[in-house]
Chain A
C-alpha cells in the first residue's frame, strides 16, 4: 500500500508570495494533520482535519489555512510568505486516534 504522499518535494518562493502544499493520506485514513519543522527543532502542529472538518489548530497566524477534500486529501496554504516560513512541512495521516504516519515532507525556502 502507498504511504502518505506530498507534493511538491521542494519549493522556492519569494517574500510576499503565496504557496499551496498538497497531501494524500494512506488509503482508508480520514484524518490529516500538518506540521512545520524548522531546522534544529521538532515538528510543530499547524492543523488537523478529520472527515473534512477542522478539528484543531496550532499557534500559527491566519496566513496559514488548510482544507480537506471529499477524497480526504488535503491542501495547506500560506499567504504573504515571510523568511521565517522557510521550513520542512510535514503531513501525517491516521485512521482515527492512533498511530500517525508521516509523508516525506515539502521543503519550502523563502527568499
Chain B
C-alpha cells in the first residue's frame, strides 16, 4: 500500500505564530485528506485535497500531486488548534474507501 510520512512529529508554538505541516506520499493518489484529531479522539475533516490549493479561514492546504506531497498551513495559531493533525491518502487502484494514514503531527499551542 501507499506510504504516508508526516513531519514534524511534534510542533510547539506560541499563540499567534504560523506553522506548516508536511505530508509526503509514496505513490499517485486519488484521495488526500487532512484531519484534526481532538482530545476526545474525533477526527475532524479539514480538507479533501488530492490536488491544488484550498483555504478555509486561518487554514489552507496545498497538494502537489506530481511531486507527491501536501502542506497544511495554520496561520495565527490559537490554543484550540492544539491536537494531532493527520494526513491520509488513497492510492490509485487501492480498495475503495481505504485510507492510509501518517503517524500525525502533535501540535501544542501555548497562550
Contact = CB atoms under 8 A, between A and B. Distances in A.
Question: Do A and B come from the same complex?
Answer: yes
B103 A41 contact: yes
Interface residues of B, number: 23
Contacts of B41: 37, 88, 90, 104-105, 107
A43 B101 contact: yes
A103 B42 CA distance: 7
Interface in A11-58: 31, 33, 35, 37, 40-45, 48, 50, 55-56, 58
B35 A102 contact: yes
Chain A binding surface, main DSSP class = strand
Given A104-B42, A107-B41, A99 B101 contact: no
Nearest to B47: A99
Interface in A67-111: 88, 90, 92, 94, 96-105, 107
Given A42-B104, A48-B97, A97 B30 contact: yes
A100 B101 contact: no
B102 to A, nearest CB: 6
Given A31-B96, A50-B96, A105-B42, A100 B33 contact: yes
Nearest to A33: B97
Contacts of B88: 42-43
B37 to A, nearest CB: 9
Interface of A: 31, 33, 35, 37, 40-45, 48, 50, 55-56, 58, 88, 90, 92, 94, 96-105, 107
